[in-house]
Structure 1
């Protein structure tokens, strides 16, 4: 099986222009232990649509799951 067939065209993410302020905020609130964002005592895990909005990227196949 080809990498692209399994994971899609993830290389497109290299061309997404990031907002520096947004990136600093995401890094500041990310909790690597729980793999989610922590705001005071509340944890938050964005959904694909929210990532799509933050990255200004249209994910074509919303049902595809990306694994490490």
Structure 2
């Protein structure tokens, strides 16, 4: 129950069908050194809201670690 309170229902992420083209693009443009995406010379970092849309998961609780 403590895990559930802290992390919520993260197990539902196991049932999301990944978009292969999206994953390929994310891997191609991800810069692990700086932990952001690099497109040409523009650095981009998705927001929690954008991750929420990509993964179809509601990340509203600010006290939870995602």
The one of the two structures with greater contact order (alpha-carbon pairs below 8 A, sep at least 6) is 2
Stretches of 4+ moved more than 3 A in 1?
none
Q: Where does structure 2 lack aligned partners over 5 or more consecutive residues?
A: none
Q: Which runs of 5+ in 1 are unaligned?
A: none
Q: TM-score, normalised by structure 1?
A: 0.79
Taking structure 2 as the reference length, what is the TM-score of the superposition? 0.81
Matches within 5 A, 1:1-68: 2-55=2-55, 57-59=56-58, 61-66=60-65
Q: How many residues align?
A: 66
